[in-house]
Amino acid sequence: MLPCRLGAPRPGWSRAADVVVIGSGIAGLTAVLHLRRELPAARVLLVTKAHLDAGSTRWAQGGIAAALAAEDSPADHLADTLVAGVGLCDEDAARVLVDEGPARVRELAELGARFDRAADGSFALTREGGHLRNRIIHAGGDATGLEVERALIAAVRADPAIEVIENALVLDLLLDVDGRAAGATLHVLGEGSQDGVGAVTAPSVVLATGGMGQIFASTTNPGVSTGDGVALALRAGAVVADLEFVQFHPTALWLPPASSAGVAAQLDGQQPLVSEAMRGEGAVLVDAAGERVMTGAHPLADLAPRDVVAKQMSRVMAARGVDHLFLDARGLGAETIERRFPSITARCRSVGVDPVTTPIPVAPAAHYASGGVRTDLWGRTTVPGLYACGEVACTGVHGANRLASNSLLEGLVFAARIAAHIAGDTGATRRRDAVPAAPVVGRGSGLTDPAERAELIRAMTDGAGVLRSAHSLRATAKVLAGLGDLRVSGATVTAGPPAWEMTNLRTVATALVAAAATRTETRGSHWREDFAERDDAHWLGRVLTRLGPEGELVLDTEPIRPTIVQAAS
């Protein structure tokens, strides 16, 4: 059984808003700015778990995919997206993404994001794995996320009407007597009235809380990515989808565990990323002997979709009995490496690896959750008044495997659509000043012992990571169930951020394992050793998960309309 709400003190302070946006990555910041544009008189509150710039967006190196070149088109971008999604993309959602994406990117540039430019002043575009066109816009060579976040935060801070609460861990959704979203409870590490547990009431709540990579031992996600939004949504009764599809980035910088850098990486739970754009420029994966890893594995070789590359790397590593391979970028030359990838170069050199002269040690790491809180084309979840965008959401655009650099684009596009929908919802306008008289927070509270976090991470990595089987998933589920039984551990759990995060981690991990055990096939980023092939006859659809009234997981499947891929001309 999983908790239907978190054990926490009663709120000691409150705020009222028209809309509360939870999360300050590209999705949350874009949602806030569009809400201010669409509803200039509204009270918009932005809540973020740490500082404004502490989310995943700042770590995005590759860029944003959009059909901006004369020889490109949204139709070509759509085709590549559908191919990468291995038959599970929601074609309508993917079409929204590619059709509206170019305008959102130009809007971001007009806001002040300094993207890299060609000699003629046009956007400098490159390729990444799975793309058949040059359509990746980037900034600072390999610092796109950092620049995008800088521009968005500057715009938010320039608007005095936007109230920001930092260092606030969201706990649970507030529901009114009709089951509508009515705000959220938070725990703020602040001062005065905003210290400790409080409540924000609002008729519209937007989740933009990012991913859940911290359930695995090796991840490119920052330490704040503990699945808080998905866990909150489950406890509120929302449907989540596609949780089994976790994309492992093929090329995280591998650091020896015994080294000081490796120890530091393990402590903060985040592995440095070596952008796929480096392979887009011509770097290749090799083993210790210098032999190419991807030759013959896929027609696109080193530019194959990420699931193909990570799977091939895992196979080679297992066959060689090694824990890493190498990315050889030396052929690019010193000038290209240092100009195009200054952040990666500096990070590698800081741990004693010079990519100009030495192949970079790399290994797959949990990178992006294609699944999340189920939404429609306007970001609406199955709980009225609750919206979701960015990595926490499952819009359906990614299917079984996200196409490179579609993630930042998804945040831009669907955050703007959420703002437009809230602005056009006359019912929300009528409710704007209403505070729920008797909010319902759910039934059954419980917390998991944070001392068991290392055990959860180990079990998930061993049994539900890159390669899975019925046996490994059953073993993982057993460990997760034991972690939640305080009668077995004898632990006394104190309510607070460590216990709340741990409970969220166990919730999303348990839901992921259940979905992965249900899908008896290999597709995209879900790899079953005991069901090695995709099975369109039985699994051309989504695995839907929700939490029952007593905390039991309820799983269902939903067929999807087959997608028709038109090859790029």
Q: Which residues are catalytic?
A: 306
Contact 246, 188 (CB under 8 A): no
DSSP, res 82: H
- Residue 110, both tokens: 């007009």
What is the distance between the alpha carbons of residues 34 and 285, in angstroms, rounded to a whole number? 41
Q: Is the dihedral of CA 495, 500, 502, 504 positive or negative?
A: positive
Query: Exposed, middle or buried by CB within 10 Å (0-12, 13-18, 19+), for 196?
Result: middle
Contact 473, 517 (CB under 8 A): yes
Those residues whose C-beta lies under 8 Å from the C-beta of residue 21, and which sit 6 or more positions away, are 28, 31, 32, 35, 44, 45, 46, 47, 206, 208
Q: Where would I find the H helices in 85-172?
A: 91-111, 144-157
Q: How far is CA 113 from CA 117, 149, 268, in A?
A: 12, 9, 29
Those residues whose C-beta lies under 8 Å from the C-beta of residue 566, and which sit 6 or more positions away, are 75, 78, 79
β-sheet bridge partners, residue 554: 546
What is the distance between the alpha carbons of residues 270 and 1, in angstroms, rounded to a whole number? 30
Torsion of CA 211, 213, 219, 220, to 10 degrees: 10
The helix (H) or strand (E) run that includes residue 308 is: helix 306-320
β-sheet bridge partners, residue 566: none
Q: At what angle do helices 91-111 and 74-84 cross, to 10 degrees?
A: 120
Dmax (CA) for the chain in angstroms is: 69
DSSP-derived 3-state class of residue 536:
helix
Other beta carbons within 10 Å of 40: 10
CA atoms within 13 A on the CB side of 464: 32
What is the distance between the alpha carbons of residues 99 and 375, in angstroms, rounded to a whole number? 19
- Residue 569, both tokens: 């001309």
